[in-house]
Each structure stands twice: as C-alpha cells, then as structure tokens.
Structure 1
C-alpha cells in the first residue's frame, strides 16, 4: 500500500510513502474538513491512497499570479 502525494495542477508526484498501515491521525487527515477530505483524498482499488496537494513550483506560480486561483488548471 502506498500513499502518493500528487500536484493538483501539474500532476507531478511530490512524494510517496510505502506503508502497511495508514494512521490518518498521524498524517493529519483528521484536521481536514469532510469536504476537504472528499476533494483531496482518493482511495484506489489496490489499497493505495492518492492525496491531491500543490507542489512548490505551482505554489510559487500562484503566488506570482494570484488570478490563477480562479482557474481549476492553469498549466496547459
């Protein structure tokens, strides 16, 4: 089972953890609202968990171009 952190904008895999057991409290999932969990966490059929995040490069682009926040995807 893997926990895969992937950028919501560019699709870059930010990180991957290989775990046998996932402690959602240790990972901070309990700090997210129910809505955020639905939006950010996707459970795969093979047991993997995909977490949608924003990578450093996209975060920097958003900082320089605040109007990008209005877009679902700003990288073509």
Structure 2
C-alpha cells in the first residue's frame, strides 16, 4: 500500500509513502473533520490511498493571486 500526496490544483505528485502499516494520527488525519476527510482522502482500486493537498508552486501562486481561491482549478 502506498500513500500518495497529489496537488489538487496541478495534479502533480508531491510525495509517496510506501508503508504496510500507517498510524493515521502521526499523519494528522485524526485532526481532519469528516467533511475534510471525504474531500481530501481517496482510496484507489489498487489499494493505495491518495491525499489531495497543495504543492509549493501552487501555494505560492495562490499567495500572489488570492482570487484563485474561488476556483476549483486555476492551472490549465
């Protein structure tokens, strides 16, 4: 099982954890609301867990252009 962090805006892979056993509290998942978990965590058919996050480049772009927060996707 892999945990794959992907950017919700550009779709790029931020990182990957190759773990058989994962303590979700160490990853901070226990701090997420149920709604956030539904929005951010996806389980793939291959058994991997995909986490929607934001990469440094997209975070910087949002810092320079705060109006982009209104959009689901701002990179085309």
Segments of 5+ residues of structure 2 without an aligned counterpart are none
1:45 is aligned to 45
Segments of 5+ residues of structure 1 without an aligned counterpart are none
Q: TM-score, normalised by structure 1?
A: 0.96
Alpha-carbon distance between aligned partners in 2 of 1:43 and 1:23, rounded to the nearest angstrom = 16
Q: More helix by proportion, 1 or 2?
A: 1
Please tell me the root mean square deviation across aligned C-alpha atoms, in Å.
0.6
How many residue pairs match? The answer is 76
2:10 is aligned to 10
Q: What's the secondary structure of 1:27's corresponding residue?
A: coil
Instruction: Give runs of aligned pairs for residues 22-41 of structure 1, distance below 5 A.
Output: 22-41=22-41
Q: TM-score, normalised by structure 2?
A: 0.96
2:54 is aligned to 54
- Where does structure 1 differ by over 2 angstroms across 4 or more consecutive aligned residues? none
